[in-house]
Chains A and B, each alone.
Chain A
């Protein structure tokens, strides 16, 4: 695992700059027109860094733990500068062992700390899977409420970075399926800045999935006003003909698809899920009742996935409003392919629009 990390450290950031989606519309842009003095423009990675800094400064019990997060600042530099600012007892370069990171974080939480663990890459979370699912997720329940587990697990996730195996995965469904965990993912710098602070403030364990292909994309942050609760989904573009919903790095693709559709005379409403567990269905159901059509998009394989759950729930709750079945656009049910093929594997705007066309054909 170590040598893969080293390779990724050297190559991933430049790969993102080369292939990233810098031209995509900023979801937060429309919301940030006012209050110029409190607006900062930061890439998502720096936004998370700023949120972590604020959490560390506000609460001496907050600790960061992870591999290479100290002087290096993490392989994506998300913790850059924090080790120097807060010291080695607040920002811990841990041994290279994910079960060890999560398991010791549980002990630290029992002691009253609020650990924020960084998993270096999505595909490396699995050595810690047992501690997350059989211990962290159940600890409060097993104690009948006498302990809390305010632990955040930060996971850079998703593709688009041209990397090697295990560096482009979307494992969120495993954790959304596990009772006791909360799972969220921001799609903008503004949300990243606020959601990381809300996740740290939560007394429940939170899996915080960071769309790594967005780390270097700038967006406006209102550092004075948050505006959206942690587990709220949000309509980010209004439309009338069909609804598309996604999360994380899917959002720029969905907005791009809506732009293309608009030129062709189709009005698409875009919903940013933001929270994968629990899912805030109200805005989504309201949207579907208006448009009558829903396409769910995700990078993760579609079989038994977040998209499957959304399709089932919307079918149950908005059956008489639906003009067409809910259609899923997802990664294929294969291992994530060699990166030269990820453009075919990952849902593109065209694949989203192909699904919208199928929906409209009913």
Chain B
């Protein structure tokens, strides 16, 4: 990458696939190439399948919002490679702390995406149990708050000694997702301080999608964000976030190092939010078409398809994935429309773990009040 106002120094961006789909690793990619040996032929195909399923689901969810069936949708179009590659670098025993755009990471960890639609349909504030959903924690809407939760969790792993045991089935690490906007929040800096101080088994995965709603990344940082780690004593790596293989290989290395007890790392994935921030946003007010077009030309799915075709994957596979994605989206839509609103108890239950006199009184009052409307009806 050439020096620019975004990047005052040339960054040794790790890239394995060029924007047009050729396997042509950058010099900086050399140490990461062995991690590709872990991938079976099926894994290569699953990367593609998950990216396409996600993008199709994404479009369907946006439709549901426009039709008034969701309060909001948070699109991930354009960021699929960063998310899919890093998600496959985690192991079942690892813990994932998302921001709120990492739908496909949840899917890969085993979360039924209906849970996310439930939240955006207004029937729950979170609603899934991370322990039974692939250790995929709840979305965190106060930007960067999850960075500290992830770091605290990783401190707990450290205290429990389930790190650096040498047993790859047992050693654990944490990955936390956040964005270029959230990087300005104090909680990210405090998380980096605590992570470095306690040498937590943890990867900070920063998706630089170039916009915090409408404000470009240059307003957040005058230095490339992967350099943020170095001031805290945390190694930083910049990757082409639209290259699913780079995302997988680089995240695999740093998650391995974290599990082995070598401490935290930061990855900055350069990507682009092709769609709006949310369905409440209008990107035409703050971006020019030429910029968006230049990123669409670097699309993560198109380049990976070209790469797979070069590996000899036949057209029937791609057609099959399209059909599967379409079925998945249709099924998701159907199930979204069947989501039932919770009953009144949901307001009062689980505010506290132990009995609480004020909540009990108010719940009893609300029940009497609601019941009073039924009186007189036969």
For this complex, 17 residue pairs linking A to B, each with C-beta atoms less than 8 Å apart, are: A99-B187, A99-B190, A100-B191, A104-B152, A104-B155, A104-B194, A105-B152, A108-B156, A110-B130, A112-B156, A135-B140, A142-B125, A143-B127, A143-B350, A202-B353, A203-B354, A204-B354
In angstroms, Cα B144 to Cα A55, docked, is 32
Chain B residues near A113 (CB, 8 Å)?
A: 156, 159
With A106-B152, A145-B350 already in contact, the answer to whether A89 and B159 are too (CB < 8 A) is yes
In angstroms, Cα B173 to Cα A223, docked, is 42
With A142-B126, A144-B127, A145-B349 already in contact, the answer to whether A95 and B197 are too (CB < 8 A) is yes
With A100-B193, A180-B351 already in contact, the answer to whether A107 and B156 are too (CB < 8 A) is yes
Binding site for A on B (CB under 8 A): 124-127, 129-131, 137-138, 140, 142, 145, 147-157, 159-160, 186-187, 190-191, 193-194, 197, 346, 349-354, 356-358
* A166 close to B (CB within 8 Å): no
Chain B residues near A204 (CB, 8 Å)?
A: 352-354, 356
Chain A residues near B350 (CB, 8 Å)?
A: 140-141, 143-145
Q: Is the CB of B129 within 8 A of A146?
A: yes
Q: Is the CB of A97 within 8 A of B190?
A: yes
**8 A Cβ contacts from A76-103 to B:** 89, 94-95, 97, 99-100, 102-103
A149 nearest CB neighbor, chain B only: B353
Chain A residues near B127 (CB, 8 Å)?
A: 142-144
Task: Give the top 4 A-B pairs by smallest Cβ distance, nearest first.
Answer: A107-B152, A103-B148, A111-B156, A104-B152
* A342 close to B (CB within 8 Å): no
Chain B residues near A203 (CB, 8 Å)?
A: 353-354
Chain B nearest CB, measured from A134 CB (Å)? 5
* A138 close to B (CB within 8 Å): yes
| 11 further A-B pairs in the complex, CB-CB below 8 A; given A107-B156, A138-B125, A141-B351 | A94-B197, A100-B191, A103-B147, A103-B190, A111-B157, A142-B138, A143-B126, A144-B126, A144-B129, A146-B130, A204-B352
Contact among A100, A105, A149 with B190 in the assembled complex (CB-CB below 8 Å): A100
Chain A residues near B358 (CB, 8 Å)?
A: 277-278
* A179 close to B (CB within 8 Å): yes
Q: Is the CB of A143 within 8 A of B190?
A: no
Q: Is the CB of A97 within 8 A of B193?
A: yes
Chain B nearest CB, measured from A154 CB (Å)? 18
- Interface size for A (C-beta < 8 A) is 45
Q: Is the CB of A135 within 8 A of B191?
A: no
Chain A residues near B194 (CB, 8 Å)?
A: 94-95, 97, 100, 104
Chain B residues near A130 (CB, 8 Å)?
A: 142, 145, 187
In angstroms, Cα B157 to Cα A111, docked, is 8
Q: Is the CB of A107 within 8 A of B151?
A: yes
Chain A nearest CB, measured from B119 CB (Å)? 10
* A187 close to B (CB within 8 Å): no
**8 A Cβ contacts from A131-160 to B:** 131, 134-135, 138, 140-149
In angstroms, Cα B159 to Cα A63, docked, is 11
Chain A residues near B357 (CB, 8 Å)?
A: 231, 278, 280
Chain A residues near B138 (CB, 8 Å)?
A: 142-143
Chain B nearest CB, measured from A89 CB (Å)? 5
Q: Is the CB of B353 within 8 A of A107?
A: no
Chain A residues near B124 (CB, 8 Å)?
A: 144
Chain A nearest CB, measured from B85 CB (Å)? 25
Contact among A89, A104, A112, A140 with B148 in the assembled complex (CB-CB below 8 Å): A104
Q: Is the CB of A107 within 8 A of B125?
A: no
In angstroms, Cα B346 to Cα A141, docked, is 9
Chain A residues near B145 (CB, 8 Å)?
A: 103, 130-131, 134-135
Chain B nearest CB, measured from A40 CB (Å)? 29
Chain A nearest CB, measured from B11 CB (Å)? 28
Chain A nearest CB, measured from B126 CB (Å)? 4
With A138-B125, A144-B126, A146-B131 already in contact, the answer to whether A107 and B154 are too (CB < 8 A) is yes
In angstroms, Cα B127 to Cα A140, docked, is 10
Q: Is the CB of A108 within 8 A of B152?
A: yes
Chain B nearest CB, measured from A229 CB (Å)? 11
With A130-B142, A131-B145, A144-B127 already in contact, the answer to whether A180 and B352 are too (CB < 8 A) is yes
Chain B nearest CB, measured from A96 CB (Å)? 9
B361 nearest CB neighbor, chain A only: A278
With A106-B149, A107-B152 already in contact, the answer to whether A148 and B353 are too (CB < 8 A) is yes
In angstroms, Cα B353 to Cα A138, docked, is 11
Chain B residues near A102 (CB, 8 Å)?
A: 148
Chain A nearest CB, measured from B133 CB (Å)? 10
A179 nearest CB neighbor, chain B only: B351
Q: Is the CB of A95 within 8 A of B156?
A: no
Residue among B129, B352, B356 with most chain A CB within 10 A: B352
Chain A residues near B190 (CB, 8 Å)?
A: 95, 97, 99-100, 103
Chain B residues near A103 (CB, 8 Å)?
A: 145, 147-149, 151-152, 187, 190-191
Q: Is the CB of A131 within 8 A of B129?
A: no
Q: Is the CB of A110 within 8 A of B149?
A: yes
Chain B residues near A277 (CB, 8 Å)?
A: 358
**Contact code string A106-136 (vs B, CB < 8 Å = 1, else 0):** 1111111100000000000001001100110
Chain A nearest CB, measured from B332 CB (Å)? 21
A150 nearest CB neighbor, chain B only: B353
In angstroms, Cα B167 to Cα A178, docked, is 44
In angstroms, Cα B159 to Cα A134, docked, is 27
A97 nearest CB neighbor, chain B only: B190
Chain B residues near A89 (CB, 8 Å)?
A: 159
